[in-house]
Structure 1
């Protein structure tokens, strides 16, 4: 769940830093360029062993990604039809920003660059390792910030509740002499997809600075069109020195800032043009004339291997992938602009990438490492592709699964079956129709999923046809309200951004109407529909064929795989670079996008997998499997902390979970409260067959011993049932004993959890 949480009390000197961008550190003084400033030192060319004849051009204009493999699971849309007419058409109260080119496609709402498109457009976009933000005060242009590990700010206590990267630091600002006031600037957006955005800092349609934003881009890159370059640093220049140029046409400088971070600056001047740079003062470098197509590139490293990538930058990303058995492969192919000696550009990979790279990537690695704020240390590669391979849970379906050695398949004793039957005889007759009649797609979906898993138990575990018949009928009626769109807050189709949203206010249902949490909310509905469709079909019914389009509409909203579906953005929620989803939609955030419930992210991907299986959409099933395989690596790097985790700062590992993960902050709390059971178990709910694939027995046992065992007996509400069912992932016998014990109370059940399923899951392996 995700919505704006009130600020927690903080020391005055930290208050702004944690939740908002603080003022920029000194020096701040803006200075006008001095045309008479001395030119920067000369940049000698390399020795005669390297000449222009040896250059391997990436492309003079742009090289598009390699062709997509024939079995690419992303090649087909779920549908290209209009959304169902039951969803009334509305315009969103948050408009698209001016100067946005959509080419008739829906616009992303939960992506890394989203901050730049909403509010006052000055909040940062994180590409990792950099963040970029529109600078409208003192220095005019696009600011670049890089935070190294030593700059992280940690909260009090041990372990600290949070850490973050200080905001608003303008390591550099890509500016221009042509901008003399903030009102001369505007932002423009083109080439918007789930993997890139082209941002223009515009004076007019002919004069602008192009900032291509691609996650993992090795250079902070700006391309000047008909403008006089001006490179500011609010941190301040400590020294600027010429360095050996990679080749003719590229100027190279070594820059040390006042914070002692050393950068390399490459300036690629187009053929037939010239540019001289001068250090005007300790805060700005200026050019002597207007240039058209001149490329400025910055990187906080001086490794000479990077020279081979200078002049070349990624302009786009294209995703392809396949699944075969238990192996999933995916590639992000980067389109390149410019030219470089090595024919490739510089990209930085996150820890979960490096662990999953194919052997072909090893020769592309260079000895360059930089820090991200929340995703660990990143590693440099000279490449135009990321090629990765992961293990996927193709063998996990609807049946309970355990990662405990020797317990992967369910095995029910007669006593366990009798206990499940006893619970089901009460719970299967529950009033799912009225219980799901709530003003929340999230809570309504949880109720539907709870009863769907009870239905699974009745059909396939205890095999009680009478209970199956009754519950199937009731679930169909409950779904009928949502399919007919007659729930308390009906859904609507937003024609502005392109998506299915609640008719509630922005503060209702966790911000669903502003695109918060769609994968959480709709994932519950989709997984419930998959179970109902399977059971109904196995009993000769046709509910699937009658209602498939409605469920497909929800899937398309949060997980449309193809740009040929123009009604929904491609992968609104899942971030194929970060390796997990982002929950925050159209709300500005000083710390970037965030996600709280990693386990409900898993549930959303599991829903895609099961719905693909039931509907015979093999590509969709494979996409779900591939997302789950990727999350097994990313979540266990950034959200779930084994004792030996070396990705995140060692100080926070004893927290065992992230709490809320932002792009610029990890905060061991939740949006709905600070009780320890909330913080830990929001990363566990719901417990499904997929839980054991992500949450290893070793992690669950460590978390139990270090965090949960001491509090469980003091928890008297539904979180206790979640705590104890989670324990089944490492100690199923203790878990089962709790649910079958004489002291068990239904007060211990969350509204999305049943005793029937809890006994079925824990009893399968006890």
Structure 2
């Protein structure tokens, strides 16, 4: 489908399915999304529901079915059940075609034809009827249908306690059994007015009436300026556009002067309350975060640095050839070694760096020049993406890399190690720049029109503002992601590559997505005792998420049961990096999380590596206790080391003892002109330089205690 201009050889990916017939022909000329929020519509039969907040939407047998789902709450999970509340069709059967898609929407064409622009966060479902025999149906008993005098507004009451509104751009003769008399062509808008959990109010109905005549058909997201995200909807009809926002939107939204928020207009969702916003464009201003190679405050004492250097010498001496061909575990291994190099820099132990640099070069180069034995990177012409040789032949190999599972996890580790090696060896960096950019662009391409290789932001969801990891696999509950910390590592590492290659665009996009991923992790993966996002039954039993789905919250993990709490903590923490300081900045929550996890450590067979992650967080409020436990460990996670754990513990400064406002894990926003890419880049460099100078001054003061300087 796509000619290979990649730096890696093209391959026929037999593990992944062919792009299905649901895609319109014009869409097949570019790389296709492999992890979109609507991916179920183009997998297998295309009939699994997808979640378009606040509705679950299904397309099957020529009909579009809309559900405003009830929330099922259990101490171990929360999910929303799909029920066929209201269906619409213009033909007795047939499949849909996906005719267009963008960052926040897609358009389905059903037989009839019936065109449906599905826009995420719309309180209405819009259907453009262009022909056919219009029909409505439901699985519920219809209690009442009432219509306006001009038959352009219809109120339908079901026996399940729900009341729906149907607006029509022309006369619609809707009977009490939902049959339609005569023909209809025009625009229909469906919206839930109330259900048994949310009683009808005159005010809500008036709001729906007022904004029913303006509908969105597509949208775009502009990421041109760092830490600034702009939504822009294309609309039709007349009047103002009404959309719904989730809590992360509202936390970073720049509200216009006329105050467009309608706080009383609320729909519930899997992600908390959705609140009405009037306007066809939004500006989201994310907080500036520093992208640092080293810890924010440096070593707190000479004693701590000495302990780290001792561990570092041992870990560097133990660097041996990596004994796996798995892209995931190999990536973790080289990233672990890269951490040793940066810790050596921070500890001024430069004599060890050449050995680490040699190890990284010998370990990474074969993946880039095609000489790695047993695996390697190849370009998939079928879907347009970078995969592994093994993944191209076996859908289960490399954790499903060939079917586009976990791309940002695997390539994120490679990007981190590559960034460190490129920092240490500029000649190597220049020699392999094309291959390096092929890796990072697989999951970080922003403007696919500039090339034909990769889809736009393969994993990152620009409406939810975090990543998905599921790939080309159909799931009843939609997309999912387990480890937000590994997603964060991917975008952080991309920004580090931007620093090495002096690529302001890559720095800006990487740091912006990292900041958004962190904010979403705190909002939806972290579960503090005072959480209002989730019900008390779930909050009482959970401090952190297992797997987060589009339509479900699960305490279980892909690789472990919910009772293995140390695994749940660890998979949302690893790898431990300088940016982890921002992800877990709320020490009050950290203490809750550790205390919730510790009882699980008494279980027989708990891995030493998982214990290390628990103790790392414990060190944020009880350093002495955590230090003794870390020193007693007999092993470490394959992406971690004693050096890294000690570095973490001995770089916890006083700022880590003060509580952070829950949900506000990031620093104070930069008060500056965010439209200027250069300003943000220089600001990042300035902050990094200031930190380095502060660290150097502290080290000089420490040395003065032990050295006698001659009189001037």
Identify whether the pair has TM-score above 0.5, normalized to the shorter chain.
yes
Q: Offset of 1:87 from its aligned partner?
A: 4.3
More helix by share: 2
| 1:229 equivalent in alignment to 2:134 | yes
| 1:128 equivalent in alignment to 2:23 | no
Give the 3-state SS of the residue equivalent to 1:295 in structure 2: strand
Give the 3-state SS of the residue equivalent to 1:226 in structure 2: coil
Query: Hey, what's the Cα distance between the residues in 1 that align with 2:607 and 2:399?
Result: 25
| 1:162 equivalent in alignment to 2:84 | no
Give the 3-state SS of the residue equivalent to 1:706 in structure 2: helix
How do 1:542-621 and structure 2 match up within 5 A?
Answer: 542-564=427-449, 565-621=451-507
How do 1:185-224 and structure 2 match up within 5 A?
Answer: 185-202=94-111, 207-224=112-129
The worse-fitting range, judged by mean Cα deviation, of 452-461 and 228-237 is 228-237
Q: Contact between 1:92 and 1:495, CA under 8 Å: does it hold in 2?
A: no
Q: For residue 649 of structure 1, what is the aligned residue in structure 2?
A: 535
Q: For residue 759 of structure 1, what is the aligned residue in structure 2?
A: 646
Q: Offset of 1:243 from its aligned partner?
A: 4.0
Q: For residue 705 of structure 2, what is the aligned residue in structure 1?
A: none
Q: Contact between 2:166 and 2:188, CA under 8 Å: does it hold in 1?
A: no
Q: Deviations over 1:657-715 (max 9, x none)?
A: 12111111111010001122112221111111111212222211111123336636963
Query: Hey, what's the Cα distance between the residues in 2 that align with 1:224 and 1:400?
Result: 58
Q: For residue 719 of structure 1, what is the aligned residue in structure 2?
A: 610
Q: Contact between 2:189 and 2:212, CA under 8 Å: does it hold in 1?
A: no
Q: For residue 330 of structure 1, what is the aligned residue in structure 2?
A: 229
Distance 1:469 1:347, change over 3 A: same
| 1:94 equivalent in alignment to 2:17 | yes
Give the 3-state SS of the residue equivalent to 1:359 in structure 2: coil
How do 1:169-188 and structure 2 match up within 5 A?
Answer: 169-176=83-90, 179-180=91-92, 182=93, 185-188=94-97
Query: Hey, what's the Cα distance between the residues in 1 that align with 2:593 and 2:301?
Result: 29
Give the 3-state SS of the residue equivalent to 1:119 in structure 2: coil
| 1:371 equivalent in alignment to 2:272 | no
Q: Unaligned regions of 5+ residues in structure 1, if any? A: 1-79, 270-274, 402-408
Q: Contact between 1:736 and 1:763, CA under 8 Å: does it hold in 2?
A: no
The worse-fitting range, judged by mean Cα deviation, of 187-196 and 484-493 is 484-493
Q: Contact between 2:219 and 2:233, CA under 8 Å: does it hold in 1?
A: yes
Equivalent pairs counted in the alignment come to 629
Distance 1:594 1:125, change over 3 A: same
Correspondent of 2:553 among 657, 666, 674: 666
Q: Contact between 2:253 and 2:283, CA under 8 Å: does it hold in 1?
A: yes
Distance 1:716 1:500, change over 3 A: closer
Query: Hey, what's the Cα distance between the residues in 1 that align with 2:258 and 2:620?
Result: 35
Q: For residue 510 of structure 1, what is the aligned residue in structure 2?
A: 399
Q: For residue 55 of structure 1, what is the aligned residue in structure 2?
A: none
Query: Hey, what's the Cα distance between the residues in 1 that align with 2:432 and 2:488?
Result: 24
| 1:316 equivalent in alignment to 2:193 | no
Distance 1:751 1:361, change over 3 A: farther
The worse-fitting range, judged by mean Cα deviation, of 112-121 and 557-566 is 557-566
Q: Offset of 1:388 from its aligned partner?
A: 1.4
Q: For residue 499 of structure 1, what is the aligned residue in structure 2?
A: 385
Query: Hey, what's the Cα distance between the residues in 2 that align with 1:111 and 1:387?
Result: 22
Give the 3-state SS of the residue equivalent to 2:167 in structure 1: strand
The worse-fitting range, judged by mean Cα deviation, of 235-244 and 579-588 is 235-244
Runs (4+) of structure 1 exceeding 6 A deviation are none
Q: Offset of 1:287 from its aligned partner?
A: 4.6
Q: Contact between 2:102 and 2:220, CA under 8 Å: does it hold in 1?
A: no
Q: For residue 475 of structure 1, what is the aligned residue in structure 2?
A: 360
| 1:738 equivalent in alignment to 2:636 | no
How do 1:22-101 and structure 2 match up within 5 A?
Answer: 82-88=5-11, 90=13, 93-101=16-24
Q: Contact between 2:298 and 2:346, CA under 8 Å: does it hold in 1?
A: no
Q: Deviations over 1:514-563 (max 9, x none)?
A: 111101111011011111111224xxxx1111112212111111111113
Q: For residue 258 of structure 1, what is the aligned residue in structure 2?
A: 159
Query: Hey, what's the Cα distance between the residues in 2 that align with 1:294 and 1:152?
Result: 30
Give the 3-state SS of the residue equivalent to 2:21 in structure 1: coil
Query: Hey, what's the Cα distance between the residues in 1 that align with 2:343 and 2:271?
Result: 39
Q: Contact between 2:16 and 2:472, CA under 8 Å: does it hold in 1?
A: no
Give the 3-state SS of the residue equivalent to 2:615 in structure 1: helix
Q: For residue 411 of structure 1, what is the aligned residue in structure 2?
A: 299
Q: Offset of 1:717 from its aligned partner?
A: 2.4
Q: Contact between 1:724 and 1:735, CA under 8 Å: does it hold in 2?
A: yes
Q: Contact between 1:398 and 1:689, CA under 8 Å: does it hold in 2?
A: yes
Distance 1:500 1:508, change over 3 A: same
Q: Unaligned regions of 5+ residues in structure 2, if any? A: 195-203, 654-712
How do 1:237-276 and structure 2 match up within 5 A?
Answer: 237-243=142-148, 251-269=152-170, 275-276=171-172
**Coordinate RMSD, CA, aligned:** 2.2
Q: What TM-score comes out, normalization by structure 1 length?
A: 0.78
Q: For residue 64 of structure 1, what is the aligned residue in structure 2?
A: none
Query: Hey, what's the Cα distance between the residues in 2 that align with 1:612 and 1:268?
Result: 51
Q: Contact between 2:400 and 2:406, CA under 8 Å: does it hold in 1?
A: yes
Distance 1:575 1:731, change over 3 A: farther
